[in-house]
Amino acid sequence: MSYLLFQISFIGYLLAMAAYLVFFFSQKKNVRSIARKVFFAAAILHTANIVARLIESGHTPITSVHETISFFAWSISWCYLSFRWRYTVKNFGTFATVLVVLLMIVSALAPHEILPLTQTQRSWLFPVHASLAMIADAFLALACIGGIMYLLQERELKQKRFGFFYSRLPSLEALDKLNQHCLTIGFPLMTLGMFTGYIWAKQIWGGRNWHWDPKIVWSMITWFLYAALMHQRFTMGWRGRRAAIMTIVAFMAVLLTLVFLLKGVGAHGA
C-alpha cells in the first residue's frame, strides 16, 4: 500500500512539474493555479505514503536509499509549501518541483523493500537525528535554488538584455531575502542534527575511532562552510552574488555528505 501511494504521489509531482513548466514559458496564471493545487495534493499523498511506510515497517522510514531520498523530497516539498505560505517568490515553484521530481526518480529507481533495523539504528536518537538532518538539508536546498535563480537574474541585469529570464525571475532583493530566510531556518536545524548525531554516535560507538568516518568528516566540513556563510552574512554584511555563490558551494558539500550516507545505507541493504 505504501509503495502504491509513493507511485501516485510521484505521478502527482510529475504533473505539477509539467504544469509549472508550462506556466514558466506561457505565464498563464490559471496554469499556475492548477500547478499549485496538484503539487499540494501530491505532497499530501507523499505524506500518506510516509505514514503508511512507518506503519508497515514499525519505524521511521529513513533506513534505505529509497526511503532516505523519498524523505528528502518530501521535506523539500513541505519546506517549500511552508515558505510559500509566508512569502511570494515568482516562479520559485518551478525550480522546486524540478528538484523534487529528480529526487523522486532516484528514489523510484532504488530497491523499495522494507529493511530491518540494524543494531545502531534501534536507538531513539537515530530517527531524531536523521529527520532533523533531512529537513535542514531541504531548507538548504531551497537556499541553493534561490542562489541559482539570483545568478541567472543578475546575469540578465548585467548584460542589460532583459530577456527570457528577466521577466520570469523575482527581483534580486526578493531572492536575497529567500536565501537569508532558508539559511536562518536550515542552519540551526543542521546544528541540532549534528548535535543529536554526535550523541547517537557516542552512544553507539563509545570511545572507538568513529570521528574519521567519511560521513562525519564531510558533515563537519559542511557545517563549517555554513557557519562561515552565516558569519559573513550576519556579521560582515554579505549579500547578493557572494552569498549566492557560497550558498551553492556549501550545498554541494551537503550533496557529497548525502552520497557518503547513502553508500552506508546501501551497504546495509546489500
pLDDT at 73: 97
Percent of the chain with pLDDT over 70: 93
Q: Which of 83-97, 99-113, 188-202 has the highest mean pLDDT?
A: 99-113
pLDDT at 265: 60
Q: Are 157 and 221 in contact (CB under 8 A)?
A: no
pLDDT at 170: 86
Q: Are 179 and 146 in contact (CB under 8 A)?
A: yes
Output the CA–CA distances (angstroms, integers) from residue 48 to 41, 52, 121, in the order listed: 11, 6, 23
Question: Which amino acid appears at position 90 of this protein?
Answer: K
The better pLDDT of the pair 12, 118 is held by 12
pLDDT tens digits, one per residue of 226-237 = 999 898 888 877
Phi, psi of 31 (to 5 degrees): -70, -40
Q: Which of the residue ranges 5-14, 57-66, 235-244 would you say has the lowest mean pLDDT?
A: 235-244
pLDDT at 270: 44
In eight-state DSSP terms, residue 122 is: G
pLDDT tens digits, one per residue of 59-102 = 888 888 999 999 999 999 999 998 877 777 888 999 999 999 99
Residue 115 has pLDDT above 60, yes or no: yes
Residue 267 has pLDDT above 60, yes or no: no
Q: What average pLDDT does the segment 236-254 reach? A: 86
pLDDT at 208: 58
b/e code 230-268 from CB counts within 10 Å (16+ = b):
beebeeeebbeeebbebbbebbebbeebbebbbeebeeb
pLDDT tens digits, one per residue of 173-190 = 888 888 888 999 999 999
Residue 212 has pLDDT above 70, yes or no: no
Q: Are 94 and 16 in contact (CB under 8 A)?
A: no
